[in-house]
A and B are shown apart, each in its own frame.
Chain A
Amino acid sequence: MNRYRTPLKNVRGLGAAKTGTEHFVLQRLTATALVFLCIWFLVFVLGLIGADYVTATAAIARPWNAILMVGFLVATFWHAQIGLQVILEDYVHNTLLALALQVSVKFIAVLGAIVSVFAVARIALGN
């Protein structure tokens, strides 16, 4: 059926497999977002050195800071989960242990994202 198709035709677009590159693409997309969000986060934290409790909460409550912080948190936990998944796939060969670790990493990453985003939302919308 594919006899007359050139190899180029088979790999164009998403390639012959159609799916499977989402993981790779998402890792790069979250990485690209994080280049900017991390630099913002670094500047934000460095600006808060020596700040007291009220100053710190007021800084996070500012709309743009809250928005960027949520973006930073989602991208960070997403990127971390994808990266740790690849590391576990490469080095953990015991099936049960690998399953347990993969599930734990996913749960912890999602939990971390939910808790921290909730914290930012609560601070921003009036503690």
Chain B
Amino acid sequence: MATPERPLSPHLQVYRWQIQMATSILHRATGIVLSFGALIIAAGLLALMLGAEHWSCFTGIVGAWYGKLFMFAWTWCFAYHLCNGVRHVVQDFGYGFSIPAFKRSSWLSVIGSLVITALIWAYVLGTGGAA
């Protein structure tokens, strides 16, 4: 069957950026990062089971600069997905669907996640750092 060039429905690039779009996209993106994070947790537990030398190898990778960088990004992904996840569950119960409420809760997720990340890392750096 011939498929002539048909106009497609408008895609993301034609919309002015809004906070609601950003929070929705970020929820999925952080979810993907957290899925990889789950595999790292599994690897850590496996290393802990296998013995001290495997564990020190694991903590060596986590403690390296790229490990710490990932841990920091991971912390924010976790904090954001948690805040926005709670927001989604609240919305599933039918609350906060007016546009101003939607915008307010979106910003609350973003700012809340940054505050949680800052608090966690303030604690981590306060205890000596090597996570």
| A2: interface (CB < 8 Å) | no
Q: Tell me the dominant secondary structure on chain B's binding face.
A: helix
Contact A28/B127 with A87-B28, A108-B39 known, Cβ cut-off 8 Å: no
* Number of cross-chain contacts by CB at 8 Å: 81
| A13: interface (CB < 8 Å) | no
Interface residues of B, count at CB 8 A: 31
Interface residues of A, count at CB 8 A: 33
Least CB separation from B45: chain A residue? A119
Give the chain A neighbours of B89 by CB distance below 8 A.
28, 31-32
Name A5-54 residues within 8 Å CB distance of B: 28, 31-32, 34-35, 38, 42, 46, 49-50, 53
Known contacts A34-B85, A35-B86, A123-B49; can you find 6 more A-B pairs with CB under 8 A? A28-B89, A31-B88, A56-B55, A115-B42, A123-B48, A127-B51
Residues of B within 8 A of A (CB): 28, 31-32, 34-35, 38-39, 41-42, 45-46, 48-49, 51-52, 55-56, 78, 82, 85-86, 88-89, 92, 120, 123-124, 127-128, 130-131
